[in-house]
């Protein structure tokens, strides 16, 4: 008699999907970057060699050296320390602004695309009104109304990007809702919320994920951009955009002040983009079977 | 379809009214007082009241809006509180600069982005695909104001290949017809001016076009890959259609909806989001005009500039919507 041994598929306690995700080198690079920045954010005060606000007028506009690897700015502040503390605002902007846009936009797009008729018209006209606003003008108007601050710039950016999600998901819903499985779900009497959340949303997940991934990067850049224009974080905040703006005046003679915050934005956004890209491939059933 | 087009044009008017209402109201709830801003802190209450009366700021808000809307229909957007010029004049001078920059950036993005995305999707496991994906990731991760500075440093200061700012060299200007330096140079018939204006446009267009380029490249590749696994594509291949025909007629055409959406959205975003690029390259465009106007609470300029940009963007959105029905016959609007 032959004994049949049933072996659990995941002996290490890690699901095959997670293992597949971690096997992607780009995903690993992204995870390392994101974790690195999260750690840096949490341990900024321990890791940074100086306070981001300490001024040293005997060492102004000093190029990168052993004592100041990223150099110093016009007030003799250590650029490395300012870049490390600036990571906090970058990560926060993704959570607040992109999260706000994603939740509001998907809800609006789903409802408009699924129910159609007057509800679609009403929602899409609101979306059109918001989309019709010059993007930066809308952000600036909101900031002007709320007052220039980092949080307000994040809220403004979140609201500005909401219509993009709504429009994209509506386009997807219009396509998906005519497919047989949605028609079948309607025929068996499934309620609209279930159809939207269980059938339509999962089948529209790829473009949402792609957009959310790319928007996470855009949001960090735009938050820094508003600070660059003086509408976000205010001096002497070590926000990357604000540091970059200060460095612009000295760019041709002291390139390091603007260069390193820019590289920091680039790195953290790249990290989130890599992770998001890997997650997209991981969660999309069509890609899983490829 | 015709009914849908007419319906959308009517809706467009309502959207523009909605935009104007929101802009008008928001600009009027901003903190601060225009009269104080114009006359300074030392102005007496009487002087302030007189100016408010002169500007119509003592009228009820709906009355102010109606006046603004009716004047706008006549093409009268009032007088700039800063420059004392007719607002229409300021906006009309700045808009072509931004339009040219946005179109050039979108041109860069579409011409490079769509073919690269298609090629990457056709060879998803190739080295080319890896390069395209890496470049697109770099593109969307790049702060454009930082990229602009880097391009100025490398191509302007170090290599001295391209100009670092402005529309044309000081003292050189083609006769103004459209306000767009490249088109005006072409119309002047002087090819030296055309080349010059194009050289001045290269760095700003590449800077502004970087993020749309990366987005278009990624969305094209992503949608092409999604579509390539569909049954109708397999059937087309089984029928023995040439691969090029399968890619263009069966994959790309069906993948176009999200691509067209992204391209359409990008144009509007470029038109309004060029302010950073305009700041870095010292271009006298609409973005800079609006930011300066907001900071100075020059609301007639803000309202006019916003309405102009909004009108263009709403029209582009309409074209994107209409293209859905053309590109995907399953989508029925009627």
pLDDT digits (tens, 9 = 90+) for A154-184: 988 998 889 888 988 888 888 888 888 888 8
pLDDT at A289 over 50: no
pLDDT at B198: 93
Per domain, the residue ranges of chain B are: 93-270
Distance, CA of B19 to chain centre: 17
Q: How many angstroms separate the CA of residue A174 from the nearest CA in chain B?
A: 7
Inter-chain touch B225–A287, beta carbons under 8 Å: yes
Q: Give φ, ψ of A78 to 5 degrees.
A: -75, 120
pLDDT at B334 over 70: no
Distance, CA of A156 to chain centre: 14
The 10s digit of each residue's pLDDT in A125-139 is 788 777 767 667 688
Inter-chain touch B272–A252, beta carbons under 8 Å: no
Chain B neighbors of A168, CB-CB under 8 A: 258, 261
The 10s digit of each residue's pLDDT in B166-189 is 888 888 888 888 888 889 999 988
pLDDT at A77: 93
**Greater confidence, A282 or B22?**
B22
- The helix/strand/coil state of A147 is coil
pLDDT at B102 over 80: yes
pLDDT at A6: 44
Chain B neighbors of A244, CB-CB under 8 A: 143, 145-146
Q: How many angstroms separate the CA of residue A206 from the nearest CA in chain B?
A: 8
Instruction: Determine the topology of domain B93-270 in CATH.
Output: MetI-like fold (1.10.3720)
- The helix/strand/coil state of B109 is helix
Other beta carbons within 10 Å of B54 = 10
pLDDT at B328: 66
Determine contact, residues B198/B216, Cβ cutoff 8 Å.
no
Q: How far apart are CA B164 and CA B161, in angstroms?
A: 9
Chain B neighbors of A224, CB-CB under 8 A: 143, 145
B179: its two tokens: 């306000």
Binned at pLDDT 50, 70 and 90, residue B112 comes out as: very high
Q: Which residue of B has its CA nearest to A26?
A: B134
The 10s digit of each residue's pLDDT in A47-75 is 999 999 988 888 888 889 888 999 999 99
- Provide mean pLDDT across the span A210-222: 77
Q: Where are the beta strands (DSSP E) in A188-261?
A: none
Alpha carbon distance, N-terminus to C-terminus of chain A: 39
Output b/e per residue, A133-151; b: 16+ Cβ within 10 A. Answer: bbbbbbbbbbbbeeebebb
Inter-chain touch B211–A277, beta carbons under 8 Å: no
Q: What is the ipTM of this complex?
A: 0.71
pLDDT at B27 over 80: no
Binned at pLDDT 50, 70 and 90, residue B61 comes out as: confident
Binned at pLDDT 50, 70 and 90, residue A16 comes out as: low
Between A100-104, B285-289, B321-325, the lowest mean confidence (pLDDT) is in: B321-325
Of the candidates B141, B150, B261, the beta carbon closest to that of A269 is on B141
pLDDT at B331: 60
Phi-psi category of A50—alpha, beta or left, where left has phi over 0 and alpha has psi -120 to 50? Answer: beta
């Amino acid at each position: 008699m032959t004994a049949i041994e049933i072996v659990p598929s995941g002996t290490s306690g890690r699901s095959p999907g997670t293992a597949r995700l971690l096997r992607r080198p780009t995903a690993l690079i992204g995870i390392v970057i994101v974790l690195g920045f999260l750690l840096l954010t949490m341990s900024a005060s321990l890791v940074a060699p100086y306070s981001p606000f300490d001024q040293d007028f005997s060492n102004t506009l000093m190029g990168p050296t052993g004592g100041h690897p990223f150099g110093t700015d016009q007030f003799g502040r250590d650029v490395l320390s300012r870049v490390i503390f600036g990571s906090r605002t970058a990560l926060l902007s993704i959570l607040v602004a992109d999260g706000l846009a994603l939740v509001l936009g998907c809800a609006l797009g789903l409802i408009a695309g699924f129910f159609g008729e007057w509800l679609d018209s009403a929602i899409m006209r609101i979306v059109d009104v918001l989309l019709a606003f010059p993007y930066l003008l809308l952000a600036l108007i909101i900031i002007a109304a709320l007052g220039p601050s980092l949080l307000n710039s994040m809220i403004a950016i979140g609201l500005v990007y909401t219509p993009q999600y709504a429009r994209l998901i509506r386009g997807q819903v219009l396509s998906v809702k005519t497919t047989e499985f949605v028609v079948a779900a309607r025929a068996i009497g499934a309620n609209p919320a279930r159809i939207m959340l269980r059938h339509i949303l999962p089948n529209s997940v790829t473009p949402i994920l792609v957009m959310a991934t790319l928007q996470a990067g855009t949001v960090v850049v735009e938050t820094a951009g508003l600070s660059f224009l003086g509408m976000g974080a205010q001096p002497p905040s070590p926000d990357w955009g604000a540091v970059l703006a200060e460095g612009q005046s000295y760019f041709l003679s002291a390139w390091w002040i603007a260069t390193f915050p820019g590289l920091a934005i680039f790195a953290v956004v790249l990290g989130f983009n890599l992770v998001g890209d890997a997650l997209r491939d991981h969660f999309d059933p069509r890609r899983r079977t490829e | 379809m015709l009914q849908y087009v007419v319906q959308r044009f009517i809706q467009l008017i309502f959207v523009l009214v909605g935009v104007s209402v929101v802009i008008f109201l928001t600009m009027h709830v901003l903190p601060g007082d225009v009269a104080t801003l114009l006359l300074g802190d030392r102005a007496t209450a009487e002087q302030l009241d007189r100016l408010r009366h002169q500007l119509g700021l003592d009228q009820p808000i709906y009355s102010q809006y109606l006046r603004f809307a009716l004047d706008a229909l006549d093409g009268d957007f009032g007088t700039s509180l800063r420059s004392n010029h007719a607002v229409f004049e300021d906006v009309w001078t700045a808009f072509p600069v931004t339009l040219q920059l946005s179109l050039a950036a979108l041109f860069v993005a579409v011409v490079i982005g769509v073919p690269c995305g298609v090629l990457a999707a056709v060879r998803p496991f190739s080295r080319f695909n890896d390069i395209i994906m890496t470049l697109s990731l770099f593109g969307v991760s790049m702060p454009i104001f930082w990229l602009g500075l880097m391009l100025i440093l490398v191509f302007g200061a170090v290599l001295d290949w391209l100009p670092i700012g402005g529309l044309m060299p000081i003292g050189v200007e083609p006769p103004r017809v459209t306000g767009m330096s490249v088109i005006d140079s072409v119309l002047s018939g002087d090819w030296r001016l055309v080349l010059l204006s194009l050289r001045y446009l290269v760095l700003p267009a590449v800077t502004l076009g970087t993020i749309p380029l990366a987005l278009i490249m990624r969305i094209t590749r992503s949608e092409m890959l999604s579509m390539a696994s569909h049954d109708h594509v397999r059937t087309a291949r089984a029928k023995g259609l040439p691969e090029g025909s399968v890619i263009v007629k069966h994959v790309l055409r069906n993948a176009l909806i999200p691509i067209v959406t992204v391209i359409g959205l990008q144009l509007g975003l470029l038109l309004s989001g060029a302010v950073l690029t305009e700041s870095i390259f010292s271009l006298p465009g609409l973005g800079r005009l609006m930011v300066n106007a907001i900071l100075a609470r020059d609301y007639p300029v803000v309202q006019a500039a916003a309405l102009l940009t909004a009108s263009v963007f709403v029209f582009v959105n309409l074209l994107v919507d209409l293209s859905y029905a053309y590109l995907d016959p399953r989508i029925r609007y009627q």
